[in-house]
Structure 1
Amino acid sequence: MVHQKVRDYFHTDYKPGERTLIRKIDFFILTFCCLSYFINYLDRSNLNNAYLSGMKEDLGFVGNQLNVINTCFTVGYVLGQVPSNLSLYYVKPRIWFPLMMLCWGGLTMVTASVHKPQSIMAIRFFQGIFEASTFVGTHYILGAWYTERELGKRSGIFTSSGLAGSMIGGFIQTGIHSSLNGRGGLAGWRWLFIIDGLLTIPVALYGFFFFPDTPSNTTAFYLTDDEKSLAIARVPVVEEHSPITLRFLKKVLLSWYWWGFVMLWVIAGETESFSSNGLLGLYLKSHPTTKYTVSQLNNYPTGVPAVGIVSTLFWATLTDFLNGKRYLVGYFIGIVGISTSIMILVASHNPTSSHSTTVTMVALYISGSVYACQATFFAWCNDSMRYEEHAFRAVVLAGMNLGNNAINAWWSIIFYGASYAPWFIRGMWAMIACCIALVIWTALLAYTDRRDRKKRELDEITGRLSITIESKEKE
């Protein structure tokens, strides 16, 4: 039976021309989205890399100013979520995405000119607004083009591209620091922002000319008329209404989709706190006995997103294979978060031993595996809302990221401030609480989702029977 499932999974029966269509949209959608998210994460990770590579000393950082900068970014990111995704209802994605890229890329280059932490705070706030388009906007686009069976892997590949940016960012900073530090009178960390910003330009131009928008409004020259019709037929047809109405607002706020998936990501997003707040780099920089070099501070943390990439692709593929059982990842993450927190709490009791260092580093590397929840949970939302209005789905996807980042704006300061390094004791206990809450909420949401699907299937069967009875009565 398992052998048959594996064979069915890898040998899908496609309609005539469907395989060619999928190859085309895979290439043009995933190349642009993955490249943009890759550079997006280079931009996000370069702040921590620059901080570890001399920016802290050059600009006179004190206390938790690094966390305050991250909070400024998060506030802008939160404010931009829903407006950005709603903009895709009115502006074609091939225009909106590249425009936003050029804006945050330009601000990245401006960061190279700053002389005090407060300037970076202002820049990162506006960067957050523009970067809000990338993550949830892409998940909205993926849900518009791909079927439920195809979505998990594509979401996983997309999310992994961001982790690759975070991983490679450390190596890039190491290379820039060794080759460009002092060139033109600029410190290596300043060159990092200039180079990252320049990378956005060719990707934005590529998106403007080649991105296919959505099945309903695509004008892509590489798709035939038959392929455009097939793309529309592959996904459920839903009746669309303007999202700027009281009716739409009530529908969103009274739906279990909004509260269920937003709260899911509010909780699950905080289980990424070890990785997203760069705890491994801060641990190494504040190590109680060992002084690490700049190269080590940049290179050692790259293993965390590497673990995240493997975990993301594994769970995205597995949940596709298991017919969309995305909720399984919630249980996995709960176990990982509790286990790694306990490991670090135990290690903190003997901070100067080499065994303590080994345990802490292993725990922080393993914590990267929780990144699997990004792809699977957003794919879960896309799966569940497949029969809902596209604008409704876009708002819920944006709401997920909005809710999480609204919490993360202050959560990281309270529990993972740089001044709490190297052990972040209160953060460990916060992680344990989050993981317990995640397991409970995942179980409740999985039950609600299953009940809703069964009701929809029953309604479909009832509707078909009614049509059959009516047709026979006419005969």
Structure 2
Amino acid sequence: MGKVKDYLRPGEGLPGERALVQKLDFFILTFCCLMYFSNYLDRSNLANAYVSGMREELSFVGNQLNQINTVFTVGYILGQVPSNLALYYIRPRIFFPAMMLVWGGLTMVTASVQSPQSIMAIRFFLGLAESSTFVGTHYILGSWYTERELGKRSGIFTASGLAGTMIGGFIQTGIHSSLNGRSGLSGWRWLFIIDGIITLPIAIYGFLLFPDTPTTTRVPYLNAVERRLAVSRVPPPSHKRSPLSLSFLKEVLTSWYWYGFVVLWIIAGETESFSTNALLALYMKSHPTRRYTVAQLNNYPTGVPAVGIISTIFWATLTDFMGGKRYLVGYFIAITGIVTSVMILTLHGSTASIFGAYYWAGSVYACQATFFAWANDALRYEDDMLRAVVIASMNMGSNAVNAWWSIVFYSANFAPWFTRGMWAMIGCSIALALWTTGLLYMTARSERRREAEAVQRNSEDARSDSVPEKA
């Protein structure tokens, strides 16, 4: 019971630490979560608009929706590593809000489109701007929070994006019923306008109060003592920051951390395919016997991110409490991916069972928070720039695969059953279980080596101190 109490009341190890953590939670998490909420709201509204009249009004054909998502993904991929490296040269307090203003403006411009091709062009630049949020925030969280605190905060951050996906459906329903036809605009066009406007006050808030990093912060709500404490809480990297050079590139490409965690997230990212490709909404839209209203098409799929929020918070908190055993989530997701795929493959006659499978599949979102926390944990004592690049490369690698994976396995014209995608999910789930096991071995080995080196250094220091000085 004492262990649970200690976990629920963090930051009591050093004088003033609890107050510091509370301030960090308020200012970092509120901005990052609102930013990611807005990010996902702007990203997921395309699927909401598609099933709410945009497909018919713009005369979508074939897999054009998937092509638009792929174009967005290309922009998102290209921005990953540059965005994280930009945080070394541009203050996060400036960089994050600036990117928000860009994607908010692009979202509002989408309301004026007259063809799927126009959306493709806009979504490319939207992907570039939004690429800063996810990996940038995970880098920032790893810069401020200890290993014992990181998982839960990463989970709360990830859950905010899922909330954007979930609430987007309700927002679209409300807009469609109240604003459809207002000023000559369809309801789905009003969705883009309102979603873009939502980003503006969040960007202003970040510009005024986001604390940057422990070594660069200047915010007035942290005094000098708290700033020193913030720096001391997170161990300094074991290497000096590497410059942008060929030697640093070689360091990255020869590091097992880079390969291990990038491949982990490539596999894990595809286990989210049921949710990220809005398969439940497409299943409902193409149901062979039933017809759903616009409200049902927008509201029923919100159960998927709702399950994802619960699963994310549960697993992020549990793995923190268990001392950082993030690998457990890999095995849970592998089981979930196999079972839900088999359910969808074999239960075509039961709509309730298909719904249940898609809702359960939403729980795989738990891997976002836990796997990026795992990478932050493993790289905590490494070169800080290496950590930034690995985190960015994880998402870049995943989205590079997803750019073509969604078209090959989850194209909208494969609805309602997505048989090819179900088999792909089973293969990904098996691969995830195997890769998680291998990565667990590598991280445990590195931790043992680091602890052995620390013991050796302490022993050498003790011997050096015991040698008497010569007269």
Correspondence list, 1:178-189, <5 A = 178-189=177-188
CA distance in 2, matches of 1:145, 1:260: 24
The equivalent residue for 2:334 is: 334
CA distance in 2, matches of 1:363, 1:108: 32
Answering whether residue 67 of structure 2 is matched by residue 68 of structure 1, we say yes
8 Å contact from structure 1 (residues 81, 133) kept in 2: yes
- 1:289 Cα deviation from its structure 2 partner: 0.4
8 Å contact from structure 1 (residues 271, 370) kept in 2: yes
- 1:51 Cα deviation from its structure 2 partner: 0.1
Correspondence list, 1:81-96, <5 A = 81-96=80-95
8 Å contact from structure 1 (residues 243, 392) kept in 2: no
Answering whether residue 106 of structure 2 is matched by residue 107 of structure 1, we say yes
1:358 to 336, 352, 370: 352
Secondary structure (helix, strand or coil) at the match of 1:132 reads helix
Secondary structure (helix, strand or coil) at the match of 2:467 reads helix
8 Å contact from structure 2 (residues 242, 383) kept in 1: no
Identity of aligned residues (%): 69
- 1:474 Cα deviation from its structure 2 partner: 3.3
Correspondence list, 1:216-227, <5 A = 216-227=215-226
8 Å contact from structure 2 (residues 241, 384) kept in 1: no
- Which letter does structure 1 place at the counterpart of 2:373? A
TM-score, normalised relative to structure 1? 0.97
Answering whether residue 36 of structure 2 is matched by residue 41 of structure 1, we say no
- 1:9 Cα deviation from its structure 2 partner: 2.7
CA distance in 1, matches of 2:315, 2:241: 35
- 1:208 Cα deviation from its structure 2 partner: 0.4
The equivalent residue for 2:423 is: 429
Answering whether residue 211 of structure 2 is matched by residue 212 of structure 1, we say yes
The equivalent residue for 1:9 is: 7
Secondary structure (helix, strand or coil) at the match of 2:333 reads helix
- 1:11 Cα deviation from its structure 2 partner: 4.8
8 Å contact from structure 1 (residues 243, 249) kept in 2: no
Correspondence list, 1:67-466, <5 A = 67-238=66-237, 239-348=239-348, 350=349, 356-466=350-460
8 Å contact from structure 2 (residues 261, 394) kept in 1: yes
- Which letter does structure 1 place at the counterpart of 2:434? I
Could you report, residue by residue, the CA deviation over 1:16-75 in whole angstroms, capped at 9, with x for unpaired residues?
A: 111111111110000000000001110111000000000000000000000000000000
Structure 1 runs (4+) greater than 4 angstroms displaced: none
- 1:388 Cα deviation from its structure 2 partner: 1.4
CA distance in 2, matches of 1:359, 1:240: 54
- Structure 2: stretches of 5+ with no match in the other structure: none
Secondary structure (helix, strand or coil) at the match of 1:215 reads coil
The equivalent residue for 2:20 is: 21
- State the Cα RMSD in Å: 0.9
Could you report, residue by residue, the CA deviation over 1:174-193 in whole angstroms, capped at 9, with x for unpaired residues?
A: 00000000000000000000
Could you report, residue by residue, the CA deviation over 1:200-258 in whole angstroms, capped at 9, with x for unpaired residues?
A: 11100100010000001000111000000000000111243344111211111100110
Could you report, residue by residue, the CA deviation over 1:314-349 in whole angstroms, capped at 9, with x for unpaired residues?
A: 00000001100000000000000000000000013x
CA distance in 2, matches of 1:95, 1:393: 21
CA distance in 2, matches of 1:168, 1:86: 32
Secondary structure (helix, strand or coil) at the match of 1:451 reads helix
- Which letter does structure 2 place at the counterpart of 1:51? Y
The equivalent residue for 1:353 is: none
CA distance in 1, matches of 2:141, 2:241: 21
CA distance in 2, matches of 1:404, 1:470: 49
- Which letter does structure 2 place at the counterpart of 1:104? W
CA separation of 1:118 and 1:395: change in aligned 2, threshold 3 A: same
CA distance in 2, matches of 1:22, 1:9: 13
- 1:155 Cα deviation from its structure 2 partner: 0.2
CA distance in 1, matches of 2:165, 2:184: 27
